[in-house]
């Protein structure tokens, strides 16, 4: 029975029978697939084997290269950690040997800052006092409004002069 290679449909039947053998519709379907994918023509195994061997060699070379890079990175980190530890030890030795001078310098700076803060505070108090006195003097010289009355549509304001005399003002 000849099969049309491009008119094969997906079988609507069980894959195997009760004995475990492939059923006829599935056998026909699988044979059609086999023919469509090249049948017995196959491929050149030698060329594929050569390509696989070349890819394997390239991957192994890359693995060696990455392994070397990782080892180099680990060595660089170890050296950096050792250098940092040495620098910290040197700094600690310097500070522990000169702790008196560091403490004295800190105390001197603290005293200087406290003195400067006191001078600044006194200057601010003096400036605030002068400003307050100027405002009080300015307020005393200016008339102070006491009330605003409305006489019909005309607003009338009552102000007091510095000596306490009320003055009526209309706009």
In tens, the pLDDT along 57-89 reads: 999 999 989 999 998 898 889 988 988 888 888
* Cβ count within 10 A of residue 29: 19
CA torsion 78-84-89-95 (nearest 10°) is -170
The answer to whether the pTM exceeds 0.75 is no
Tens digits of residue pLDDT in 147-156: 555 556 666 6
* Structure token pair of residue 3: 């099969």
């Amino acid at each position: 029975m000849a099969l049309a290679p491009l008119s094969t449909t997906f079988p609507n039947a069980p894959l195997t029978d009760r004995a475990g053998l492939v059923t006829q519709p599935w056998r026909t379907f699988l044979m059609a697939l086999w023919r469509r994918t090249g049948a017995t023509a196959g491929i050149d195994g030698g060329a594929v084997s050569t390509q696989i061997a070349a890819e394997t060699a390239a991957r192994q070379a890359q693995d060696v290269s990455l392994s070397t890079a990782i080892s180099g990175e680990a060595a660089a980190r170890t050296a950096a950690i050792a250098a940092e530890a040495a620098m910290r030890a040197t700094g600690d030795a310097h500070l522990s040997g000169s702790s008196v001078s560091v403490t004295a310098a800190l105390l001197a700076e603290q005293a200087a800052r406290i003195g400067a803060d006191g001078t600044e505070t006194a200057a601010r108090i003096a400036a605030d006092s002068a400003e307050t006195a100027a405002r009080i003097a300015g307020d005393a010289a200016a008339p102070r409004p006491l009330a605003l009355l409305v006489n019909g549509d005309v607003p009338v304001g009552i102000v007091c002069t510095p000596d306490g005399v009320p003055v009526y003002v209309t706009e």
